[in-house]
Amino acid sequence: MAAPAIQSDPEEPLTPKGGADNPISALIKELIDINSEIFELKEDIVAKGIPYNTANVLVELSRVGKPDELEELKKSALRTAVSQFGVGAISPEKLNDDLVKLVELEEDLAHLRGVAKGRNLEPQAVNLLTNVMRQNPGDRGSHILSKIFEYSRACDVPIKMIAPVETAEIQEPASVLPDIQIDAPDTVGWKKYRALMIDLAIGAVMAYCALTLLT
């Protein structure tokens, strides 16, 4: 079953299923899931007689909407599959279903790449990390990535050490307007009431003093 489409709005938060607020981790996980599903579907097609390159062309023709070329290539590919695998060859119905799923997954992948682009993530870095983690599920690519850093240092490649990306906070731009203290309505009312009471008290004291002086 095809993975759900991913919104390409760069402001839309991507939260990992584990619950951590880490958009990079969520992005990579979605990429791994979609790429794994694409790989498995294509692997099954190849196992049933359709060459890998032919499968890629079939997906592309399905995606861009070239029905005539698609039908011709499907017929040729199916004939080759039957001649090589006999009853074990992929059926026309199965091939059609797989192509529909692959097109949907490619569209999901395009949406997700739009999210990455909107967040100014480096495509090569994202693709490299995705492939390494997908191909090494045991240690999530830790060994290979460590070796990349090791070999980079051996080649005198300067590695810029930065703070973890997931800890960076996006701050709203500061306002150009002066910071004016605005009292809440109930606070304003209380201040007026207190000022009135003070005035009345002062007035009463002055009146008392005047009467005392006159008597």
- Residue in this structure with the two tokens 């007035």, named with its chain if needed: 203
Q: How far apart are the C-alpha atoms of 127 and 131, rounded to whole Å?
A: 6
Classify residue 19 as left (phi > 0), alpha (psi -120 to 50) or beta: left
| Domain annotation covers residue 2 | no
Domain count, the chain: 1
| Domain annotation covers residue 50 | yes
| Domain annotation covers residue 154 | no
| Domain annotation covers residue 113 | yes
| Domain annotation covers residue 126 | yes
| Domain annotation covers residue 75 | yes
| Domain annotation covers residue 185 | no
Along the 215 residues of the chain, how does pLDDT read in single tens digits? 444 444 444 444 444 444 455 788 889 999 999 999 999 999 999 999 999 999 999 999 998 888 999 999 999 999 999 998 999 999 999 999 999 999 999 999 999 988 888 888 888 888 899 999 999 988 989 999 899 888 988 898 887 765 555 544 333 334 444 444 444 445 556 555 566 566 655 655 555 444 444 54
- Residue in this structure with the two tokens 């861009």, named with its chain if needed: 64
| Whole-prediction pTM | 0.62
| Domain annotation covers residue 32 | yes
Which structural domain range is residue 120 located in? 23-139
Length reported for the chain:
215
